[in-house]
Structure formats: structure tokens, C-alpha cells
Structure 1
Amino acid sequence: MSISGPQARAARALAEMPRDHVARLSGLTVDALRAFEVGKIHPGDEAVAHLRAALESGGVVFIDENGAGAGVHLKLNSRDARSIRRLENEGGVVGEDDV
């Protein structure tokens, strides 16, 4: 799946990654990344694949077009997943009653 410029911009914002850092990781110039994010250029499929990999290394997951639109979200790290599991188990023992 290819990603769009706005998806790349949103992913970079979610991962809180500065544009110069993402540009360096992906092999793009800062100006080329900026232009792609606003839809002025398409740097080529190979460059977009490197950009996607760089953003995914920052913890984002790209969502394919599924009828509701393409998107991006943050994946949970192991610490967050443990916290959720702990909170889900705080309810205590489940019991049966006649109510």
C-alpha cells in the first residue's frame, strides 16, 4: 500500500517526529518531504516506501482504504498493552446473582 502526503504528515505528527529526522531516516530532503506532505510532489514509489518504513519505525500503523478512508494510528507499545491488561483485570471476581 502506498501512502499519501497527508497520511505521512499525520503519521509524523502522531509519532512526534520532527520533519528533519524523518527526512534523514527516509533519505529524502526536508524540502521534498514538506512538498510531499502538502501534495505538491510525489517523490517516487521507492522513496515513499522508505518514508513509510521510517514512520512505522516511530510506532505508527497505516490503515488501508476500507470504505471509510485511509488513515494512520499509533500502535501500542508493550508498556501500554500491559497497562490496559492490568486495568481490564481490576474488576475483581465475576459472580452470578439473581438480580
Structure 2
Amino acid sequence: MTPAQCRAARGLLNWSQQDTADAAKIGNATIRNFEAGRSSPQNATLDVLQRAFETAGVEFIPENGGGAGVRLRKTSP
């Protein structure tokens, strides 16, 4: 996950940095510093963060020539 994907995922869910930290059970400073590019969290922290977003309905789109991204999971009608 990139800092931009983190910001975009929060935007899709309308989550604040604190909402995200609470959902992932990590510190708010971790989110703030990661998104600002001031730090790179441990892989385990990024995994927890990504799982929190995925549980809430975000899908991560890998780099495939068109750029990495995020989207909301399609729900059944």
C-alpha cells in the first residue's frame, strides 16, 4: 500500500485518520506520518491497515501498468 492509496481508501470510506487508526488498532501518528511520507510502517502494520480497509469494503488494485489504486467492492443488488 502506498500513502496515496491509504488517503484514497480513507476518502472512499469517509474515514478520518483517527477512524482509520481505531479500525486498524494502530496509532494515529502512524497513519499521519505514513500518509505524509515521513515514515514507512513495518510490513505487519501495513497488513493490519490494509485488512481494516478491506473489511470495510475497499479493494486494492495492484500496479498493472495503469497505476496502483483503490475502489469500493461491488455489492450485490
Fold match by TM threshold 0.5: yes
> Residues 20-99 of structure 1: matches in 2 within 5 Å?
20-78=18-76, 82=77
Quick one: which amino acid aligns to residue 20 of structure 1?
A: Q
Measured against aligned partners, the alpha-carbon deviations of 1:1-57 in whole angstroms (never above 9, x if no partner) come to xx0111011101111122212102212211110110121111100000000001111
Structure 2 unaligned regions, length at least 5: none
Instruction: Please report the TM-score for the alignment, with normalisation by the length of structure 2.
Output: 0.90
Deviates more, 1:39-48 or 1:21-30: 21-30
The count of aligned residue pairs is: 77
In 1, the alpha carbon distance for the partners of 2:20 and 2:58 equals: 13
Identity of aligned residues (%): 36
Select the structure of larger CA radius of gyration.
Answer: 1
Any stretches of 5+ residues in structure 1 without a counterpart? 83-99
Runs (4+) off by over 6 Å: none
Counterparts of 2:20 and 2:26, CA distance in 1: 8
Single out whichever of 53-62 and 21-30 deviates more from structure 2.
21-30
Backbone CA RMSD of aligned residues = 1.1
Q: Does the Cα contact within 8 Å between 1:27 and 1:47 map onto a contact in 2? A: no
